[in-house]
Structures are given as structure tokens and as C-alpha cells.
Structure 1
Amino acid sequence: MERSPDIIWAYRGKTDLAVGTQATTIEKILGWTAGFIGVVLIGFFYWKNDFDWTIWQYILAVIIAYDIVGGAVANSLNSCKRFYHSSLQTFEPNYVKLAKNHLFFSIIHIHPLIVSLIFSSASWFYGVFWYLILQISVLTVTNTPLYLQRPVSMLIIVTALLINGYFVSSPTGFEWFVPVLFIKIVYGHTVKEEPYRPETEKNI
């Protein structure tokens, strides 16, 4: 019978905020490839529909797609779960402690405000609404007992998906944005889960 991967919280090496310090090769590939897929698919959608945007708006939209789509996968990696849910290690610079703060991580994701400001001709409501809901969601999950964090995060994500689809209109071209953002932050970054590592990669 094949041995199950080990749960390992210890890590070492050069700080990697993107995919987590000491990520395995396949974890790195998954994280960076996800961002590339986001750029290709969403970028193709933008090109095909020929939105009335300036060049810099297209560039910004693609950057947002790379960050959010790639981050949704990267934050769910075992290496990221291990890194962001561990206390500051002795070999890490002090700024890492701030990066590991889930609320701070969520607060700096001002993407809804940017999308609303740059791509919405309607109002600021979309950006302000989703930015505030995101912070409330992270606070809710972090204050939820560990054994309920995953289902609570999924409840929040499903609710956000339905509100996004039927009640709060998205700026044209960003219909995908809120569901993927909430997957990235509310589940991927905030929910604490056991960080597995294959036996062949166990070199702590």
C-alpha cells in the first residue's frame, strides 16, 4: 500500500511569498502555470470581445487576471498553507510576520476598488461593497473554529458567487473576478489546513 504524504509544518530556505517557502518543483509549476492560464483564457476573451478599453486598461486587466487566478491556486498549495499558517521563523525577515497576518493580506487586496474605479462607468458601489464583504469574510473565517473553517469559507464563496451573478452587476469583462478572488483569499489564504509533503521531498 502506498504511504500517505507526511504532514510537515517545518520549512527553511529563501522567503517566497508567492508559492510559499520551500515549495516543491511541482507546487511552483502549478502556481505559476495557473497565472499563465488565467492570462491566456481571460486575455483571449478580452481580445475576442474587443472592449472599448485603452491599451493600459487591457494591460492592467491581464495583470489582475494573472494575480487573482494564479493566486487562487498558489494559496491552496501545501507550501503556502505551511508558510502562511506558521509563526515567524528565526531565519525570516520581520516583514514576513506582517505578510502572515490574514487580515492584512486581505486588506492589501484592493483589487475590487481598482476594478470599480478603472473599469466601471456606473459607480463605486461594486468596489466598495465587495472590498468590505471580503474583509468581513476573512474576519469570519479566522474567528471560526478550525474544524468548521473549510465549510464556512465555502458557504461564503457560494454566497458571493450567487450575489455576484444575480444581484450586484459586475463591470463588463470582470464577471469572473469576485468568485475567483474569494476562492483565493477566503479559502486559499485564510483556511488553515494540514500541509502535506511527499516523502521524497522531505528534507527538513
Structure 2
Amino acid sequence: MRIDWEPPAPRDGLSGSWDKFVGPGATNAEEVVQLGLGAVIAVALVALFWQGATPDTTIWQWAFVVVLALDIGGGIVTNATSAAKRWYHRAGHGKGQHFLFICAHMLHLGVAAWLFADNPVAFFGIAAGALVLGTLIILFTPLYLQRPVAFGVATLFILLSFVPLLALPNLNWLLPLLALKLLLGHLVKEAPFQPER
């Protein structure tokens, strides 16, 4: 194995759009793991939601959960690949870009709060505030301490899902899996190991 921090240029066309999303130069094995394992996770999340669904569950709740499951299922796996690490931690892609990536996921929290939370304002304010604070702590931690600090911050964020005020009926996996995808997967800079050519 070797460490390679230089991502290849994204391909042209639709393939290039995919490259910019998951990281150019992904190996065939990385593609299979991202798509295959991501799909299995997404199906499992929808199945968990289905087993707790009631006749009152709306089409909007179902639609949101399906999209969320696909995004989180694929995102957890993809953000941990060497191709993604190399792409999202490349030269010129710094703290500002990482912060904006995390902020884009506030949409997940906002829609979840609106569709599921007993107190949407409190849920969104606390969860989003904790996510932003955790992100800033991880981003400004020295690199050699970043991984253990991220694990600690992610653990505290996960514990929020056990606070009754932040309980989401039938969607209690949201905060823990966002912690995996964002705080541990996306933000932590780790060496992008590559197979020998």
C-alpha cells in the first residue's frame, strides 16, 4: 500500500460530476463498496422506519426518509473511502469548504424537525447548534489530535439522540448516523491509502 494525496482530475461529463461527488480516481472496489454497502444501509434504514410506521405516517415523511436513507447510507461509506479523503482534503480545499459541506446538511435536520419533532424549533436549534460547534472544534483541532477529538465530539453528538426533547419518533438513527457521516467520515483527515499499481 502507498499513500497518495494527489487526486486525478475529474473525468468529463456525467462521470466527472460523479467524480466530484465521491472523489475522482476511486478504485473499482471502492465503487462497489460505496454503492453496494450504501444501498444495504439505505434499505435497512427504510426497513427500520417501515416497522415503526403507522397509518398516520404521511407521504412526505416517507419521501423524506427514503431520500435521507439513500444520502446517509451512501454518504457514510463514501466519506470514509481513500478517494473521498484525497479529494475533500486536497490542497486548496480547507476549513471553509468543510464547514459549508456540514452546513448543507442542516437541511436534513430542518426537514426532520418539521416532519417529526414534537418541538421543531428546539430540536433544530439544539441539534444544528451542536453540529456546528462540533464541526468547529474538529476543524480547529491540531491534526495529530483530530481523530480522537472527533470521536469524542461525535460521541457527545450521538448522546443527544437520547435526550427526550430531541427524540424523533421512528427516526432515532438520524443523529448517530449524521455523526458517522459528517464528524467522523467527512471532517477527519486520514491518509488515503492506495493499492500498488
TM bin, normalised by shorter chain, reads 0.7 to 0.9
Q: Which residue of 2 aligns with 1:127?
A: 124
Q: Distance in 2 between matches of 1:17 and 1:117?
A: 31
Q: Distance in 2 between matches of 1:23 and 1:38?
A: 20
Deviation, 1:122, is 2.9
Q: Which residue of 1 aligns with 2:77?
A: 73
Scaled by the length of structure 1, the TM-score of the pair is 0.84
Cα deviation code 1:150-169 (max 9, x no counterpart)? 00000011112223224543
Cα deviation code 1:24-68 (max 9, x no counterpart)? 111112122233122211212222223322223202111101111
Cα deviation code 1:124-179 (max 9, x no counterpart)? 21122111111111111110010100000000111122232245432112111101
Between the two proteins, what is the percent identity of the paired residues?
A: 30
Q: Which residue of 1 aligns with 2:147?
A: 150
Letter in 1 for 2:193: Y
Q: Which residue of 2 aligns with 1:49?
A: 52
Total equivalences in the alignment = 188
Q: Equivalent of 1:63, from 67, 72, 75? A: 67
Q: Distance in 2 between matches of 1:59 and 1:150?
A: 34
Q: Which has the higher helix share?
A: 2
Given that residues 75 and 189 in structure 1 are in contact (C-alpha distance below 8 angstroms), is that contact kept between their aligned partners in structure 2?
Answer: yes
Q: CA RMSD in A?
A: 2.0
Q: Which residue of 2 aligns with 1:9?
A: 5
Where does the alignment leave 5 or more consecutive residues of structure 1 unmatched? 89-96
- 1:103 correspondence with 2:137: no
Partner secondary structure for residue 17 of structure 1: helix
Deviation, 1:107, is 0.8
Q: Which residue of 2 aligns with 1:91?
A: none
Where does the alignment leave 5 or more consecutive residues of structure 2 unmatched? none
Cα deviation code 1:101-129 (max 9, x no counterpart)? 10011111121111001222433211221
Scaled by the length of structure 2, the TM-score of the pair is 0.87
Partner secondary structure for residue 141 of structure 2: coil
Q: Which residue of 2 aligns with 1:86?
A: 90
